[in-house]
Structure 1
Amino acid sequence: MISMIRIDDRLIHGQVAVMWSKQLGVSRILVASDKIAANDMQVNALKMAAPAGIKAFVLPIQKAADLINDPRAASMKILVLSNNPKDIYEVLQKINEKPLLNLANYGRIGGEPLSEKQKLTETVYVTNEDKEIFNKIFNMGYDFEYQPLPSDAKQSLKELLGGK
């Protein structure tokens, strides 16, 4: 079962590998991305970044959803990661669970210049396209918690975007 789905530009890094995986007690980290899964060098680097005792997988979106929906996954605690909302939207459309969604460290790396993005927090910048995708996710009955670290206060992404 999914313990949490997180959007984070950096994917598997210190906050995720150490703090979140320990907080959630996960046994698996799953990066869901067609683009990243096609890059062998990035796949190998992400697998090496996983903490000892936690298996890391980097899979295209459909294979990630198939793994999540596999009855054998029900007994596992899985942290699902992606570096963009579009991939998460696609995953959510394909899975049977309704997991907790988390967002932090998004929009500062790559893509359009920061000057062309809306700053929501010190670590989250979004484009108009991002907002459209987040609204589609909200319309599915979800919200994201903006919470970079487990010890940080939670904030609703919907509220940060001006919704209620």
Structure 2
Amino acid sequence: MANILMTRIDNRLVHGQVGVTWVNYLGANLIVVANDEVSTDEVRQNLMDMVVPDVIGTRYFSIQKTIDVIHMAADDQLIFVVCDTPQDVLRLVEGGVPIKKVNIGNMHFSEGKEQISSTVSVDEDDRKTFKRLHELGVELEIRRVPDEKIEVDILKFI
């Protein structure tokens, strides 16, 4: 079974908080960015790789490829999965990826979304998706950085 330490939802995908702070806190040695667009965008991949220490591996897979290959991870790979949206996480979980905990770090505000914390805004589809993840036994938390207290009880909003 893949050693997935945590999965994070962050519209920015990999940046300083993810590539350094969370990786160090979790003890991860591999970041898997599960995102259909970034999986084929070498420029964005290279930009994200710039903030990740050289000793940490990065992989940029589509959602389907992540589902197909995650079970082939080596025992010594300590994996931090990063996704753009809760819908992507749900696709992974329904595809058999053993995700137990999701950290919701950043979901930008846009038209039709309600801001539920300083960095997280949701619409009705997001609420339904979080509810489904919760029903599937996935632990959900909103937290920007590891040493921050959980800001909002997401379950109040689903």
Q: TM-score, normalised by structure 2?
A: 0.89
RMSD over aligned CA atoms reads: 1.7
Kept in 1, the 8 Å contact 2:100–2:139? The answer is: no
* Counterpart residue number, 2:9: 7
Tell whether 2:154 aligns with 1:157. yes
Shift of 1:31: 0.3
Aligned counterparts of 1:14 and 1:48: Cα–Cα separation in 2: 10
**Comparing both structures, which one devotes a greater share of its residues to helix?**
1
Tell whether 2:101 aligns with 1:104. no
Alignment of 1:20-99 (within 5 A): 20-70=22-72, 72-99=73-100
The unaligned stretches of length 5 or more in structure 2 are none
Kept in 2, the 8 Å contact 1:143–1:158? The answer is: no
The unaligned stretches of length 5 or more in structure 1 are none
Match of 2:7, SS? strand
Tell whether 2:131 aligns with 1:129. no
What whole-Å deviation, never above 9, does each CA across 1:102-130 have from its counterpart, x for those lacking one?
1011123xxx43xx211110100011111
Kept in 2, the 8 Å contact 1:143–1:157? The answer is: no
Shift of 1:13: 0.8
Kept in 1, the 8 Å contact 2:4–2:98? The answer is: yes
Aligned counterparts of 1:89 and 1:74: Cα–Cα separation in 2: 24
Shift of 1:19: 0.9
Match of 2:106, SS? coil
State the AA in 1 paired with 2:128: E
What whole-Å deviation, never above 9, does each CA across 1:74-117 have from its counterpart, x for those lacking one?
33110000111111111111235242211011123xxx43xx21
Shift of 1:6: 0.3
Q: TM-score, normalised by structure 1?
A: 0.86
Shift of 1:35: 2.0
State the AA in 1 paired with 2:93: L
Kept in 1, the 8 Å contact 2:33–2:82? The answer is: yes
